[in-house]
Structure 1
Amino acid sequence: MYDEIFDENHLVRPHCEVLRQWLLQADEHLIAEKRREADVLFHRLGITFNVYGEDQGTDRLIPFDLIPRIISAPEWQRLQAGLRQRVQALNRFLYDIYHDYDIIKAGIIPAEQVFANNQYQPGMQSLKLPRNIYVHIAGIDLIRHSDGDYYVLEDNLRCPSGVSYMLENRKMMMRLFPELFADCPVAPIDHYPALLGETLRASSLNPDPTVVLLSPGRFNSAYFEHAFLAQQMGIELVEGPDLYVRNNQVFMKTTSGPRQVDVIYRRIDDDFLDPLIGNPDSMIGVPGLYAAYRTGNVVIANAMGTGVGDDKSIYPYVPEMIRFYLGEEPILKNVPTWQCRRKEDMKYVLENLHKLVVKETQGAGGYGMLIGPASTKKEREWFKNAITARPDNYIAQPTLCLSSCPTFVEQGIAPRHLDLRPFVLSGKKIQMVPGGLTRVALKEGSLVVNSSQGGGTKDTWVLEGEPC
């Protein structure tokens, strides 16, 4: 297992020296008090989430760990280059499958995996989007394996969430431990809302566009983030009933009358955006929105139909996308993946369920997943039947050993597994702030970092220049 702070000789990594000194000098009672203070502040700010299906209907805090995850400047430079490359290729792929189909004609990706995909939107075919951008905001999940290298675990291209926690974690650390930042050249991230606003405005051909954030409402698990980002960008937070379509143009209701909307940063899935072409029972969408979109009178970020690009059955082809569209070798690695739709892959998976991670191709949030080494015989039997019934609905990967970082738990400080979700913005250029959301599996031995599955978060420090 790769340790983010100590090397194989149990020596502290150079860029983590200040953190080691801080931990050695940390007063246990003071740290406990700081943790309680953080919980109180997060509650007061409303930084909570809820888990769908829970009876109590109460918001929960995402556990916040006080020990930051540190990334050196050279590491981040390589990650940044790899993320730019990957998102650029994914945008090229999405344009291609709705226009020229070159990657399908070349035989690199089977046609049925694109056109029969539940997320494919035939109505997007031949639709011209400004700058050919489909994914304005991407959240790319990375893990570091025991070999010390980073791997992309999945690409989130529809409505990636979590950036508000990244920002609030940094604010909390600066409030609780300002002395650490005085000793360490940590790259700033507080300009993310400005970059996001710039990206959204750049998606419109209107030089002074009206941008809104469309939310499903306060019962959505990420509603805090919706309100936070709208406030930080200085744009209106709206829900479906706040908008209407007239003459294929989208308008927002205001106290001073209708106002035309040019860009919608949507936090609603495709099926619920417009009940006239999606789910007819949707009460959170805008009737007629799709027609306005097709006419080119409004931009939707991220574009409709982007879900094909983050389907887990498409994920294995991303390295080939990079070679095909960019003529470059992938900088970031993919995790080896078996596609159960292939007979030989399914045979291997069924025979090795006890040591593989099995995922639904369109699953999210840590649900619909089997972690073989931690599974029961009953769970493996259930997945065996499910895979046999719908092989195209599942992929499998080896059980990777996620890197660990010291974490405050009830017993004291102990290593816990973590991942990293950087947020990549595509507008006139591809931009990102240094770092991302680090999620940590707080349960001992667990590899599941999702907040809905008991995970927490950490501040992510990317160092500028020399190690601190």
Structure 2
Amino acid sequence: MAFNEMLAGDGSIRPPYAQYADWFAAQDPKGLAAKTLEAERFFRRTGITFAVYGQDGSPERLIPFDIVPRIVSGAEWRRLEQGIEQRVIALNAFLEDVYNRQEIIRAGRVPKELIATNEAFLPQMIGFRPPGGVYTHIIGTDIVRTGEGQFHVLEDNARTPSGVSYMLENRETMMKMFPELFAMHRVRPVENYTTLLRRSLSALAPAACDGPPTVAVLTPGIYNSAYFEHSFLADQMGVELVEGSDLRVVDGRVAMRTTRGYKPIDVLYRRVDDDFLDPLTFRPDSALGIPGIMDVYRAGRITIANAPGTGIVDDKAIYSYMPDIIEFYTGRKAILENVPTWRCAEKDSLAYVLDHLSELVVKEVHGSGGYGMLVGPAASKKELAAFAKKLKARPKNYIAQPTLSLSTVPIFVKKGLAPRHVDLRPFALVSDKVKIIPGGLTRVALKEGSLVVNSSQGGGTKDTWVLED
């Protein structure tokens, strides 16, 4: 049975939701329904949309927003914060190790072939240490709550984690519509994220930087699914939003075109995938990147956030080794446990997964956004048979996990409050220290009984409140 974050087993209100429940009971449902429409109009007017590829009609969609906040106590958050910080430190240590001494491989804690044959591993990064030794400057850690309320890490997003703009817009919307709720609750702020982001990026400017660092955000362009976020973050940080065509290498520096000529950039927050970053190093047909940027990077004359090659820790097969990785680099057991995972590349695991396919969730090791996966309990016999063939053909391409009973939080419906399944993506910033934003993006499955929270698959979002003690 799913853990209900608002209601205890006896039907009583859990402490974090106590004041909210009293407030809600005194509200006019028609007034709250009007607030929902008001929020939708605000999101539409602001342009808070995302693109869905391969869909008929307009690919632009409005992300559904629920007006009931998800409320987390200070004590609950402290454990999450400690676990995420431990994980972030281990991820950076792992990346530095696999691109240099590879001690974890020599120790037999991670198989060599898992690194050497991984498509996200970049040989171009071998022997190179980025400024400050930081590979993953911005990390989104997907957290789920199961069973008796335990938190587990579902996956790591260390390449180009998205969703933080929705976290910020959700908070702004709630503060505009329900200021009285914020007067009643001591909610920790998230509004300073972009200030912290710019400060964190600037702190890791290369040694060649001889003044206040010039920061820019690199976007693939307006047709990218996360373009709203790229432009939002650039605007909020007060930095330039650039495309590859705006940049070139000038006198050994990456420079952006301005009305006064080309101006050197010190830190590039890139939202372009590795393959497209430099056509001279990676895909020669890329029109999204900057020819020669990798040479400038390796010469220590620009910081790229996140560093090229960080995508290897997004790999779900690597994820399955995270308990070992954390212990190897920190000397401690993981504070936040992984979800149990079967690596289909292993013969015994594959046999188990094939025998229990109707009970499991199977994911591509490089998959994201809910695509390319099988939810066994929701699949037909025909779908199960077809997926079994794919598994047998390319077992190394998949991992499997149990169908989780995700925790529920209330959403607003016509009849009042109704429980729906959720996950959580907190965001961590890494420079000389780790800063974890108190809250994150809560994604919610809006359909009753659904476990699919991805916005690309029909899920929505809600504001996440971390309470002060």
Q: TM-score, normalised by structure 2?
A: 0.98
1:406 is matched with 410
1:288 is matched with 292
1:115 is matched with 116
Q: Residues 169-188 of structure 1 correspond to what in structure 2 (within 5 A)? A: 169-188=170-189
2:281 is matched with 277
1:198 is matched with 199
Residues 130-175 of structure 1: CA deviation (Å, up to 9, x unaligned)? 1211000000000000221000000000000000000010010111
1:415 is matched with 419
Letter in 2 for 1:132: G
Q: Residues 138-153 of structure 1 correspond to what in structure 2 (within 5 A)? A: 138-153=139-154
1:222 is matched with 226
| Offset at residue 129 of structure 1 (A) | 1.1
Q: Which of 444, 448, 452 is the matching residue for 2:452?
A: 448
Alpha-carbon distance between aligned partners in 1 of 2:415 and 2:124, rounded to the nearest angstrom? 55
1:426 is matched with 430
Contact 1:248/1:288 (<8 A) preserved: no
Residues 90-112 of structure 1: CA deviation (Å, up to 9, x unaligned)? 00000000000000000000000
Question: Which blocks of at least 5 consecutive residues in structure 2 are unaligned?
Answer: none
1:437 is matched with 441
Please give the secondary structure, in 2, of the residue aligned with 1:300: strand
Q: Is residue 313 of structure 1 aligned with residue 317 of structure 2? A: yes
1:136 is matched with 137
Q: Residues 42-441 of structure 1 correspond to what in structure 2 (within 5 A)? A: 42-204=43-205, 205=207, 206=209, 207-409=211-413, 412-441=416-445
Contact 2:96/2:129 (<8 A) preserved: no
Alpha-carbon distance between aligned partners in 1 of 2:244 and 2:373, rounded to the nearest angstrom? 32
Alpha-carbon distance between aligned partners in 2 of 1:195 and 1:83, rounded to the nearest angstrom? 18
RMSD: 1.0
| Offset at residue 247 of structure 1 (A) | 4.0
| Offset at residue 410 of structure 1 (A) | 5.4
Please give the secondary structure, in 2, of the residue aligned with 1:221: coil
| Offset at residue 350 of structure 1 (A) | 0.4
| Offset at residue 29 of structure 1 (A) | 0.8
Please give the secondary structure, in 1, of the residue aligned with 2:202: helix
Letter in 2 for 1:230: A
Alpha-carbon distance between aligned partners in 2 of 1:78 and 1:265, rounded to the nearest angstrom? 29
Letter in 2 for 1:121: L
| Offset at residue 209 of structure 1 (A) | 1.3
Cα distance change of structure 1 residues 281 and 81 upon mapping to structure 2, 3 Å threshold: same
Stretch of structure 1 that moved more, 19-28 or 89-98: 19-28
Letter in 2 for 1:131: G
Stretch of structure 1 that moved more, 407-416 or 261-270: 407-416
Please give the secondary structure, in 2, of the residue aligned with 1:392: helix
Percent of paired sites with the same residue:
55
Alpha-carbon distance between aligned partners in 2 of 1:411 and 1:285, rounded to the nearest angstrom? 51
Alpha-carbon distance between aligned partners in 2 of 1:361 and 1:329, rounded to the nearest angstrom? 24
1:38 is matched with 39
Alpha-carbon distance between aligned partners in 2 of 1:355 and 1:241, rounded to the nearest angstrom? 48
Alpha-carbon distance between aligned partners in 1 of 2:8 and 2:328, rounded to the nearest angstrom? 37
2:13 is matched with 12
Alpha-carbon distance between aligned partners in 1 of 2:466 and 2:312, rounded to the nearest angstrom? 32
Please give the secondary structure, in 1, of the residue aligned with 2:363: strand
Letter in 2 for 1:273: L
Residues 186-241 of structure 1: CA deviation (Å, up to 9, x unaligned)? 11111100110011101113352111000011111111111110011111000010
| Offset at residue 246 of structure 1 (A) | 2.9
Aligned residue pair count: 465
Residues 383-438 of structure 1: CA deviation (Å, up to 9, x unaligned)? 10111010000000011100001112456532110000000010011002211000
Letter in 1 for 2:319: Y
